[in-house]
Amino acid sequence: MAARKSTAKSNVSADELKHYYREMLLIRRFEEKAGQLYGMGLIGGFCHLYIGQEAVVVGLEAAAEEGDKRITSYRDHGHMLACGMDPGGVMAELTGREGGLSKGKGGSMHMFSKEKHFYGGHGIVGAQVPLGAGLAFSDKYKENGRVTFTYFGDGAANQGQVYETYNMAQLWELPVVFVIENNQYAMGTSVQRSTKSPSLWERGAAYGIAGEAVDGMNVLTVKEAGERAVAHCRAGKGPYILEVNTYRYRGHSMSDPAKYRTREEVQKMRDERDPIEQVRDMLLTGKHATEDELKAIDKDIKNIVNQAADFSKESPEPALEELWTDIYA
Ligand SMILES: Cc1ncc(C[n+]2csc(CCOP(=O)(O)OP(=O)(O)O)c2C)c(N)n1
Ligand SMILES: [Mg+2]
């Protein structure tokens, strides 16, 4: 159960690389637009952006198969886009409009898609971890070969319910990939300030759960690790832990004074480790794409995001009667 070194090589096709570039760029531009709409007062309440962490969800989605499930925290827009949920529907939910995926009544942290097997969006830190094991229990019971990706943060990883879940998941050999998105901070608290055992994935050893740490800024290493995790689960060997080391560029939420780290720290990450720039480099230096081709992708993504934003402004607010619907399932 030793930590693995990054092994991802560039024996990956041009189309595959372009796909990752597109998917990560969609999340980046979507989140930038959400930040703008928030600044304009069109989005209210909490809004947690995923900028910087794009390679995590895009790499893991590349390891998933149709029917696999995903569940995550409140930092969820990237997960929704990566599993194919409609950008217009997500953005309109952020602006609280009728065309939103929860009819404008859920907002940023509460969207779901039965069709895409996306089970939320959970605002209570760590709450999705036992729920993710429950989804995997259902799949094991049905013997359908499906795997559940259960995402949570480094802060959540210090919660008791995570370890109760580890114990049961391993005992029952549930097909669940626990993905610790270690973005180095839980609100304003760095990992160094919250634990003396910074290798979070190794805690699974106490329950006999296999796992590894992964470079989460490199979409190819994430995908490779995701494939190992999924293969482990599908072979009936029980859960697997991936600690994906990543970084969030923006504040915890839109209201974050950002006093707990320096601007230089963030800039260094952007300059040296950016997940999108890494793939851009691979595409250009490997001659898999020209600057013009990449520009065309950028333009296409910009259009998709602008259309989503227009839809999110034009869609009406939910009717008053909607207050009385969708209360109980
Ligand atoms: C049970 C609970 N306690 C506290 C909070 C307030 N809170 C919201 S996010 C957060 C930090 C979580 O950090 P982490 O798990 O690392 O996820 P990240 O925000 O970095 O994605 C806290 C303490 C909450 N929502 N729920
Ligand atoms: Mg965190």
In the block, tokens 């300059």 appear at 271
DSSP letter for each residue of 211-258: EEEEETT-HHHHHHHHHHHHHHHHTT---EEEEEE----S-SSSS---
Minimum-distance ligand 1 atom for the alpha carbon of 124: 26
What tokens does 11 get? 């024996």
Minimum-distance ligand 1 atom for the alpha carbon of 156: 15
Q: Are 182 and 215 in contact (CB under 8 A)?
A: no
93-129 pLDDT per residue, tens: 999 999 999 999 999 999 999 999 999 999 999 999 9
CA of 135 to the centre of ligand 1 (A): 22
CA of 8 to the centre of ligand 1 (A): 31
Minimum-distance ligand 1 atom for the alpha carbon of 248: 20
pLDDT at residue 198 in the model: 80
pLDDT at residue 6 in the model: 44
Minimum-distance ligand 1 atom for the alpha carbon of 183: 20
pLDDT at residue 10 in the model: 54
Q: Are 93 and 309 in contact (CB under 8 A)?
A: no
What is the Cα–Cα distance from 185 to 156, expressed in whole angstroms?
11
Pocket test for ligand 1, best of 187, 200, 245 (most atoms within 8 A of CB): 187
Q: Are 170 and 207 in contact (CB under 8 A)?
A: yes
The contacts of residue 30 (CB under 8 Å, 6+ apart) are: 77, 81, 87, 90, 91, 305, 308
What is the Cα–Cα distance from 178 to 198, expressed in whole angstroms?
17
pLDDT < 50 regions, the chain: 1-7
Q: Are 207 and 166 in contact (CB under 8 A)?
A: yes
pLDDT at residue 309 in the model: 98
Give the predicted TM-score (pTM) of the model. Answer: 0.96
CA of 125 to the centre of ligand 1 (A): 5
pLDDT at residue 328 in the model: 81
CA of 120 to the centre of ligand 2 (A): 18
CA of 71 to the centre of ligand 1 (A): 15
Residue type at 308 in one-letter notation: A
CATH superfamily of this structure's domain 24-303: Thiamin diphosphate (ThDP)-binding fold, Pyr/PP domains (3.40.50.970)
CB within 6 Å of ligand 1 — which residues? 73, 75, 123-125, 153-156, 183, 185-187, 252
pLDDT at residue 257 in the model: 84
What is the Cα–Cα distance from 246 to 67, expressed in whole angstroms?
26
What tokens does 308 get? 């989503």
**With the C-alpha atoms ordered 118, 153, 233, 22, is the resulting torsion angle positive or negative?**
positive
Q: Are 227 and 195 in contact (CB under 8 A)?
A: no
Longest C-alpha distance within the chain, in Å?
57
What is the Cα–Cα distance from 123 to 93, expressed in whole angstroms?
15
Pocket test for ligand 1, best of 51, 73, 125 (most atoms within 8 A of CB): 125
